[in-house]
Amino acid sequence: MLACIALSTTGAVAQYISAGERSWNKCRACHQVGETARNGVGPQLNGLFGRHSGAVEGYSYSVANKNSGITWDEAVFADYIKDPKAKIPGTKMVFPGIKNEQEVKDLTAFLKRFSADGKKRI
């Protein structure tokens, strides 16, 4: 029974990650993830959760972003990605946001796969 629950949970996580990867297409014009990720128009997003805003080496952040005091976690990211300019007035990020809660959760699951070095966790 426990094995069935574990497999079911793993399947659900894979489903969220897959949906999040589709949502990631909205982000990839400016951001990268993975072992070869580099900064572009936006900073690379490896190891995003637990990181302080404005902390990616080599990326030129807005003063607002550097001074926001944000440490990225799921709740902060969900609030931010819905309306970046409302969460951090003065941010350079030009993105209308993702309003759908499930899509935000899926994107979060996708991003959480990548550790700070870009290796996949799951």
Domain hosting residue 33, numbered range:
2-112
User: How high is the pLDDT of residue 62?
Assistant: 96
| Distance in angstroms (rounded) separating the CA atoms of residues 24 and 1 | 34
How does DSSP classify residue 63?
Answer: H
Q: Percentage of residues in the chain with pLDDT exceeding 90?
A: 84
Q: Look up tokens 């990631």; give the residue.
A: 24
> Does residue 27 fall inside a structural domain?
yes
> Does residue 29 fall inside a structural domain?
yes
- What tens digit of pLDDT does each residue of 18-71 get? 999 999 999 999 999 999 999 999 999 999 999 999 999 999 999 999 999 999
| Distance in angstroms (rounded) separating the CA atoms of residues 52 and 76 | 11
> Does residue 65 fall inside a structural domain?
yes
Count of structural domains, the chain? 1
| Distance in angstroms (rounded) separating the CA atoms of residues 60 and 78 | 23
Contacts of 78 (CB under 8 A, 6+ apart): 101, 104, 105, 108
> Does residue 118 fall inside a structural domain?
no
Q: The domain spanning residue 98 has which CATH number? A: 1.10.760.10
